[in-house]
Amino acid sequence: MHGDDACAEGALAANCSFFAGYPITPSTEIAERLARRLPETGGVFIQMEDELASMAAVIGASAAGARSMTATSGPGFSLMMENLGLAIMMEMPCVLINIQRGSPSTGLPTMAGQGDVMQAKWGSHGDYSLIALSPWSPQEMFDLTLRAFNLADRYRVPVIILADEVIGHMVEAVTIPPAEELPFWDRRKPDPADPDEFLPFLADSSDLVPPMAHAGEGYTLHYTGLTHDHRGYPAMTAAIHHQLVTRLVNKIDQNSADIIETASYRLEDAEIVLVAFGCTGRTAVRAVRMAREDGIRVGLLRLVTLWPFPEEQIKQLARHVEFIVAELNLGQISREVERISRRPVTQVLHAGGALIPPEPIIKAIKEVAFGGRARIF
């Protein structure tokens, strides 16, 4: 199955019932498939006039109880940032698929990139935390899209699938389990006994996530992008703002151990750890195998969850390994690894447009193994 098609099928398996989007290479196939498939499952597909409206429609559908999503690439992702911030402030679960291409601006519409990593984390203004996942195969396009909906509902937060053109347009075998075997995490619902007393933004549980009522269920609901109190009404004080924004950040950060997922390859005795994600992770596996044939003890840490970042795992590894980071940008993840490990990191970088082949990664591995350090483009 085509990676973009696998993403669409993962959304349907997650009971997604609403898609709003605007065509953009290399994500258009997601919209095309859902335009056919959503009506077959009783869902709604809307092609909006632009990406700003797409994100707004997704938020509205979520408020009414739908599992909702959109899909785009870099330029459209930029246009969605304002309403992404609104979704974060309203604590509105939704899924945003970004099939990255060469950037910035129009860039290389039909070629791969991984340059939107920091935009996914900091693209909207202010302090917040969200979740971003990075698939490396069509199978993970299915699996992680399903997981994205579950995480979005569990933590009342937008979840981003930060894929890339290579994975979106790759064709591989995809296993779709029976529906009864798929995990499903629903939104926590309020106590129906006292709808008049319901405070929609009171998080009185240990995970800091408030229960969610939907429009039309008999509860009084008020949504705003302004700083708000537990009722959802504007409360324009510094104290309430600090309390609210701190909770929005902490509900992800303090639950990060349950959110973060990584995959490892040959880490058990590694003295050098290669860090990669998405399509670059596939090249990295080949580089590790080739370096191992030369007797170099190197392993791969593949980032499946990009945000929140796996800081504790990096800290633990930093005690006894050297890091190499390979990515299709000019050093976005490598700076995070360097910040957390507090040691220099060797970089294998390319601005985008083509996969990084194994050879420059192997060159970096050998330079680190034999005492050198490099920034290789």
DSSP string, 333-346: HHHHHHHHHTS--E
Residue of 129, 118, 114 lying closest to 328 (CA atoms):
114
Q: Which two tokens stand for residue 59?
A: 């938020």
Instruction: Please tell me the distance from the alpha carbon of residue 199 to that of residue 232, in angstroms, as a whole number.
Output: 8
Model confidence over 299-327: pLDDT tens digits?
999 999 999 999 999 999 999 999 999 99
Domain co-membership, 13 together with 116 = yes
Question: How many structural domains comprise the chain?
Answer: 2
Q: Is residue 73 part of a domain?
A: yes
Domain co-membership, 131 together with 20 = yes
Residue of 260, 346, 269 lying closest to 302 (CA atoms):
260
- CATH number for the domain spanning 294: value is 3.40.50.920
Domain co-membership, 159 together with 305 = no
Q: Is residue 221 part of a domain?
A: no
> What is the chain's Cα-based Rg?
21
Q: Is residue 195 part of a domain?
A: no
The whole-number pLDDT of residue 374 equals: 52
DSSP annotation string for 242-256: HHHHHHHHHHHHTTH
Given a cut of 70, whether residue 297 has pLDDT beyond it is yes
Q: Which two tokens stand for residue 172?
A: 């591989």
* 355 exposure class (CB count in 10 Å sphere: 0-12, 13-18, 19+): middle
* Residue 292, H or E segment: helix 279-293
Query: Final residue of a domain: which of 128, 155, 172?
Result: 172
Model confidence over 47-82: pLDDT tens digits?
999 999 999 999 999 999 999 999 999 999 999 999
Q: Which two tokens stand for residue 319?
A: 């005690």
pLDDT band per the 50, 70, 90 thresholds, residue 371: confident
Query: Final residue of a domain: which of 172, 193, 215?
Result: 172
Q: Is residue 340 part of a domain?
A: yes
Is residue 262 a contact partner of residue 312, using CB atoms and an 8 Å limit? no
Domain co-membership, 274 together with 135 = no
Given a cut of 90, whether residue 23 has pLDDT beyond it is yes
pLDDT band per the 50, 70, 90 thresholds, residue 234: very high
Sequence letter at residue 169:
H
Longest dimension (CA), the chain: 70
Q: Is residue 253 part of a domain?
A: no
- CATH number for the domain spanning 129: value is 3.40.50.970
Q: Is residue 243 part of a domain?
A: no
Domain co-membership, 154 together with 291 = no
Q: Is residue 251 part of a domain?
A: no
Given a cut of 60, whether residue 274 has pLDDT beyond it is yes
Per DSSP (E only), the strands in 22-151 are 44-47, 68-72, 94-102, 108-112, 131-133
Q: Is residue 309 part of a domain?
A: yes
The whole-number pLDDT of residue 375 equals: 55
Domain co-membership, 165 together with 309 = no
Q: What is the mean pLDDT of the chain?
A: 96
Query: Final residue of a domain: which of 120, 152, 172?
Result: 172
Enclosing domain of residue 65: 3-172
* Interval 340-346 mean pLDDT: 95
Is residue 160 a contact partner of residue 69, using CB atoms and an 8 Å limit? no
pLDDT band per the 50, 70, 90 thresholds, residue 267: very high
Domain co-membership, 148 together with 278 = no
